[in-house]
Amino acid sequence: MRLEDKTVVITGAASGIGRETAQECAREGATVIVTDVDTEGGTGTVASIEDAGGEATFYELDVTDSDNVHAVVDEVAETHGLDVMINNAGTGHPGGSLEELDDEIRDFVVDININGVWNGCHAALPHLKDQGEGAIVNVGSLASILGLPKQAAYSTTKAAVLNLTRTIAAEAGPHGVRANAVCPGFTETQMLDQYLEKQDDPEAAREAMAEQYPLKRLGRPEDIANAILFLASDESAFVNGHGLVVDGGFSTC
């Protein structure tokens, strides 16, 4: 098993990509620390892992609260050890041109997508560097490499996630710590559903979106989870500072 005897912390693991990643890491032998502001969803993820014979623990965690993140990560490191930090928690915003997005929306997205990832990395790095090994995987987006129309705040934050990842890779690499990012295309998650629900015809919008992809489908949570698992495991031991695009070929068109 690829993560046997390793402890993995995952933020935003109550649903979607985070839940699928937690389940996949558990199947590969990890002790999984499930974190989220959504207590019901997070405990549901833990239950699904335990029902399958895996090991998981839930911590309520607000990634925008630096003190909260450090307290949880420190406790996990002391109690279970810490080998992999997966910063998955993120948010989007309603579509709109730059001038249509107000400061409140911008600050909300920045706080979760940039500060949340920063806090997770900031808390995990001392533990990983002290032990001389470990991995950080940050969840970016197709918007990390492409400027998505009517998604200025989101695109800005996800581009920042990728460059922060590269900086950490350069700084922490000499200490045996790798940092990489996964950059998914549109994926069948609750966040996507919420976006589509605001369209005049959600199903038609979904079909039109899928048609833009060479594979003629949207991503599935397991597609992204498998990429995260690769970067978290020793299979990617010489991969550092990389943004792995998982978009079904969208960015090649």
Positions marked active-site: 154
Q: Are 11 and 18 in contact (CB under 8 A)?
A: yes
Surface-to-core class of residue 132, CB atoms within 10 Å of its CB (0-12 exposed, 13-18 middle, 19+ buried): exposed
Query: Could you give the 3-state DSSP secondary structure of residue 9?
Result: strand
Number of H helices, E strands in the chain: 9, 7
Query: Could you give the 3-state DSSP secondary structure of residue 36?
Result: strand
Q: Are 187 and 15 in contact (CB under 8 A)?
A: no
What single-letter DSSP state applies at residue 177?
Answer: E
What single-letter DSSP state applies at residue 252?
Answer: G
Distance, CA of 22 to CA of 139 (rounded, Å): 14
SS (H, E, C) 75-141: HHHHHCCCCEEEECCCCCCCCECHHHCCHHHHHHHHHHHHHHHHHHHHHHHHHHHHHCCEEEEEECC
Beta strand segments in the chain, E: 7-10, 31-36, 55-60, 84-87, 134-139, 177-184, 243-246
